[in-house]
Amino acid sequence: MKTLDTFDWITISIYFLVLLGIALWVIRKKENNTEDYFLAGRNVGWFVVGASIFASNIGSEHVVGLAGAGAGNRLPMLIYEIQAWVVLILGWVFLPFYARAGVFTMPEFLEKRFDARARWILSVFSIVAYVLTKISVTIYAGGVVVSALLGIDFWTGAIATVVLTGIYTVLGGMRAVVYTETLQAVILVIGAAALTIIGLDHVGGWESMKETVTPEYLNMWRAASDPDFPWPPLLIASTITGIWYWCTDQYIVQRALTAKNIKEGRRGTIFGALLKLLPVFLFLIPGVIALTLKMRGELEWDSPDQAFPVLMSNLLPSGLRGLVAAGLLAALMSSLASVFNSCSTLFTVDIYKKLRPNTPEKKLVRTGQIATIIVVIIGIIWIPIMANISGVLYEYLQSVQSYIAPPITAVFLLGIFHKRINAQGAFVTMITGFVVGAVRIVLELVKDSLNPDGFWYLMGDMNFLSFASWFFLFCVILILAVSYATKAPSEEQLKNLTMATIDPEEKKKNKNSYNWKDITISLVIIAIVVYVMVWFNGK
């Protein structure tokens, strides 16, 4: 790998100065109330909402991992990257319910639809999941990326990035996060697009690349009997996980809730969906380009995850290399900033405010800032643990969401589409679902010591996509059975919180919040998704 030169460092310095300027401008403008600190005053336009959704999704481990999937014969994983249509579901289906309920957080919505138990379960579970997976994985991958790009040791890179991101998140709150993320999304797209274009030119174009890796390599649809990526469970499980991640997870939904109204929020999700089409071409294709060059003997790397940084350092000219390095740093920082802010929001609004309902606004903001600092410290403490985790467990962390998603997706989907679903059904499903998910993780780790012919081995060894698909069906049956076996919720409690109970005035408001342009762009996005799915068929 080539190291960064003077022009690269000048580019990175300019980027950080601009980022610092935006953060300072936002910090000076902010007000000391919870709505401003956690939801940027609910006054953000569609462009910033969409860019923030995209930047939150793309972390450094995401960039490196997706290029690694392209370079390491794991192309079916690209189905998780063309879920732009699921982002549209957030704007068209879920967001109007969240906005009508006037909530800050997803657990708060569950309390309004069901009861306080559902709120507590989701709040505590989400915070633990964020600290143990999102934060630790992002910091670990970020430390590796920063040390490789900047030529500094892992610890210095990881801690410097965490502390820098933590400072502007604590001081500026959500407003600092969404505005800095807008700049970071732009930088990341420009840098990665330049790498894709230069890379394709270097290998002699798409057809030449296809010839080298063979057309079969570019097939995302494996046989139903494939041991790793059977296509029916892949399609089902990726959709379940997608709805959980894009439509019900605080980390993403909080961006849409910052919008000044439903119209801007929906347009933000449409813009975010449009941007979500880009990762396939910006990150996965460079991985395939890197593999092509390796097969031709023009590039060398040890593991597929090194494909993106090695390709970047070898192909890009001075200055532009620095811009892409800044983009990767941006991806890391935006993901960390998002999860820091989401953690502090969940803790302050869903736990602290519930325990102390009369706390003044200023104290709640201060509590949110302290919560962010604590999360930053836990993140740093977790680095040595992550640094000692093997690659297998790192991969396992990515599949954990397949065990988290089914019960949450079932509760939110049926809660909105079926008015007979009640609080008891939601409570039993979430508790049971989280226990089953935890048991599956333990069985997966200890399966080698189990009887290969036994039930528990089968549960631990089953393909994670197949497990997630059957697990979701189990959660749907469970929530329906418990709800119908217990008392139906009152009409008053359900008002405007399910499809069947929206009053005429709210329906009219919702209809006035979009026009033919929103519908047309959404249909174009769905058409592009279908085209990409058909295009990567190995022919």
Mean pLDDT of 4-20: 83
Answer whether residue 96 shows pLDDT above 90.
Answer: yes
Q: Does 246 have pLDDT greater than 90?
A: yes
Confidence of residue 235 (pLDDT cuts 50, 70, 90): very high
CATH number at residue 203: 1.20.1730.10
List residues bridging with 219 in a β-sheet: 537
CA distances from 15 to 28, 52, 186, 323, 324 (A): 20, 18, 11, 8, 11
**pLDDT tens profile 312-355:** 888 888 888 888 777 777 767 767 777 777 787 778 877 888 88
Q: Look at the chain and report how many structural domains it folds into.
A: 1
Residues 137-178: tens digit of each pLDDT: 777 767 766 776 667 777 777 777 777 777 766 665 556 666
Output the six-digit token pair for 520.
């047309």
d(CA 48, CA 46) in angstroms, rounded, equals 6
Q: What is the rounded CA–CA span in Å between residue 280 and residue 317? A: 23
Identify how many contiguous H helices and E strands the chain contains and give both numbers: 28, 0
pTM of the model: 0.85
Mean pLDDT value of segment 483-512 = 92
What percentage of residues in the chain have a pLDDT greater than 70? 87
pLDDT higher at 431 or 438: 431
Mean pLDDT score across all residues of the chain: 83
More confident residue, 165 or 464: 464
Q: Higher confidence at residue 34 or residue 48?
A: 48
Question: Are the C-beta atoms of residues 122 and 408 closer than 8 Å to each other?
Answer: yes
Higher pLDDT, residue 209 or 373: 209
Residue 443 identity: L
Closest CA relative to residue 328, chosen from 133, 201, 157 = 157
Which has the higher per-residue pLDDT, 337 or 408? 408
Q: Does residue 136 carry a pLDDT above 90? A: no
Mean pLDDT of all residues in 362-374: 81
> Residue 538: left if φ>0, alpha if ψ -120 to 50, beta else—which one?
left
Residue 200 domain flag: yes
DSSP string, 427-472: HHHHHHHHHHHHHHHHHHHHGGGS-TTSHHHHHHHS-HHHHHHHHH
- Is residue 417 assigned to a domain? no
* pLDDT score of 480: 97
CB-CB contact of 24 with 300 (8 Å): no
**Residue 201 DSSP label:** H
Arithmetic mean of pLDDT, 279-287: 85
Tell me, yes or no, whether 365 lies in a domain: yes
Mean pLDDT, rounded, for 361-368: 80
- Among 91-95, 298-302, 339-343, 347-351, where is mean pLDDT lowest? 339-343
> Which has the closest alpha carbon to 130: 341, 403, 333?
341
pLDDT for 1: 59
Q: How far is it, in rounded angstroms, from Cα 162 to Cα 154?
A: 12
Which residues face 537 on adjacent strands?
Answer: 219
For CA atoms 333, 338, 344, 347, give the dihedral sign: negative
Query: Per the domain annotation, does 226 fall within a domain?
Result: yes
Cβ distance 405 to 244 under 8 Å? yes
Asked, for residue 391, whether it belongs to a domain, the answer is: yes
For residue 2, report the phi and psi dihedrals to the nearest 5 degrees.
-80, 145
Calculate mean pLDDT across residues 496-523. 92
Asked whether residue 96 is assigned to any structural domain, the reply reads: yes
Q: What confidence tier does 40 reach under pLDDT thresholds 50, 70, 90?
A: very low
Question: Could you tell me the residue range of the domain that residue 523 belongs to?
Answer: 41-402+515-533
- Among 18, 382, 21, 369, which residue's Cα sits nearest to residue 167? 369
- Would you say residue 461 lies in a domain? no
Predicted pLDDT at 171:
65
Q: Which of 273, 289, 288 is nearest to 528 (CA)?
A: 273
- Residue 390 confidence (pLDDT) above 50: no
Question: Is 471 part of any domain?
Answer: no
